[in-house]
Chains A and B, each alone.
Chain A
Amino acid sequence: MLTVHGTTGEVVKIIVNVLLGGRVMKRKVVSLILACSMVAGLTACGKGATDNGGNAGAEATTEAAEETESSDATEAEETTESADTAEATELAPIESDYVESGEEGKVINIYCWNDEFRQRVEAVYDKVDHTSDDGTITYLTDGTEIHWTVNPNQDGVYQSKLDEALLNQATATGDDKIDMFLSETDYVVKYTDAEADVAIPLTELGIDPDTVLADQYSFTKTVASDANGVQRGSTWQACPVLFVYRRDIAQDVFGTDDPDEIHAKVADWDTMKASGEELKAKGYYTLSSYADTFRAYGNSIANPWVEQGSTEINVDPQIINWVNDSKEWLDAGLIDANIKGQWTDEWNKAMGSASNVFGFLLPAWGIDFVLSPNWDGETGAWAVTDGPQAFNWGGSFVHGCAGTDDPEHVREIMLAVTADKDNLVQITRDYLDFTNTQTGMQEIAEDDSFSAEFLGGENPFKYFQPAASSIEMTTLSPYDQGCVELVQNAFSDYLQGQIDFETAKANFETAIKERYPEITAVNWPE
Chain B
Amino acid sequence: MRTWDDLDEFQAFLDDGGMVEADDDMPEEYRHEVFRFIEFHANSELMGGLTERDWIPHSPGLRLKQIFLAKTQDEIGHAHLLYMVAADMGVKTRDEMMNDLLAGETRFHNVFHYRAETWADQIAIAFLVDAAAFASQRAVFAKCTYGPYKRILRRIVGEEGFHMRHGEEMLLKMASGSQVQRDLFQAALERWWWPAVQLFGPDSPPDDPLLKWYIKSERNEVLRHAYVQKYVPLLQGYGFTVPDDGLRQDPDTGEWMMSEIDWAPLKATFSNAGPDSARRLANAVRNHAESAWFRESIGVSA
- Genuine A/B complex: no
On A, residues with C-beta under 8 Å from B are none
On B, residues with C-beta under 8 Å from A are none
